[in-house]
């Protein structure tokens, strides 16, 4: 796992082997942050279930173990039907999501970051050496990811990239450097607040770059304090 990854997300990673678990552990130990969703680290590579607490091989990193699961449409212990729509909340911030599967989390060293409306833990965080490991009780859910990014981006030091037109792809290369690519057959104006130098074309751009069809450019912010 590359050290320059800002936030690796492991969605529904049902199979977990020792090599992958070691990479996750080393990444977090060195100061990285990682998210993993429910329905992860359940099976070994031979498709056999772990005979140890789950998430398999990673209970120490995430500081918890799963104690069962709920599946929408089935009955809970009280005989009530488990709903598919649930609310996740943290303080005054909350989101309703559609969910088919969620796990019951038994926290050890982890702390609850966000709860379901019934008070059970929806998202946990465990401070593991220099980094943090976050566990999301539901299976992968795009709406929950988006909400959680808003809730955690400042604490995790994540930068919000500008909205991009359709057909434009962007990748952060290094501090203050991004590569943008036009994948369409038409010229597109791409907004970029601030001043940038095009490393490939040698031009300077202010607040936007005009990308020709199927062309790309490496943009370098001219202001050392500019975040990109």
Check residue 2 and give its pLDDT.
Answer: 65
Region of residue 41 (phi > 0: left; psi between -120 and 50: alpha; otherwise: beta): left
User: How high is the pLDDT of residue 155?
Assistant: 86
* Residues 90-100: tens digit of each pLDDT: 999 999 999 99
The reply to whether 9-152 and 168-221 are identical in fold is no
Interatomic CA distance for residues 228 and 19, integer angstroms: 33
Given CATH 2.60.40.1180, say whether it is the number of domain 168-221: yes
Average pLDDT over residues 11-36: 96
pTM of the model: 0.77
Fold of 9-152: Rossmann fold (3.40.50)
pLDDT tens, residue by residue, 177-192: 999 999 999 999 998 8
At 153, list the tokens: 């981006």
**pLDDT score at 161:** 67
pLDDT (mean) for 119-126: 98
Whether the Cβ atoms of residue 207 and residue 162 lie closer than 8 Å to each other: no
Percentage, residues of the chain above pLDDT 70: 95
Calpha distance 42→4 (Å, rounded): 28
Indicate the domain borders of the chain.
9-152, 168-221
């Amino acid at each position: 796992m590359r050290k320059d990854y800002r936030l690796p997300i492991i969605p529904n990673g049902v199979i977990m082997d020792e090599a992958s678990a070691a990479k996750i552990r080393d990444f977090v130990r060195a100061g990285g942050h990682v998210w993993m969703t429910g329905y992860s680290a359940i099976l070994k590579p031979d498709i056999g279930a772990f005979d140890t607490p789950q998430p398999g091989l990673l209970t120490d990193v995430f500081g918890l173990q799963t104690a069962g699961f709920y599946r929408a449409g089935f009955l809970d212990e009280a005989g009530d039907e488990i709903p598919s729509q649930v609310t996740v909340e943290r303080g005054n911030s909350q989101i309703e999501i559609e969910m088919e599967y969620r796990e019951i989390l038994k926290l050890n060293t982890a702390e609850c970051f966000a709860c379901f409306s019934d008070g059970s833990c929806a998202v946990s965080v465990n401070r593991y050496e220099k980094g943090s490991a976050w566990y999301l009780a539901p299976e992968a859910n795009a709406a929950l990811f988006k909400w959680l990014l808003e809730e955690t981006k400042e604490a995790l030091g994540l930068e919000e990239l500008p909205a991009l037109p359709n057909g434009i792809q962007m990748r952060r290369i290094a501090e203050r450097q991004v590569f943008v690519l036009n994948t369409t057959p038409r010229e597109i104006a791409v907004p970029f607040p601030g001043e940038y130098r095009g490393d490939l074309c040698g031009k300077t751009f202010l607040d936007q770059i005009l990308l020709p069809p199927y062309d790309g450019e490496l943009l370098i912010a001219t202001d050392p304090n500019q975040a990109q």
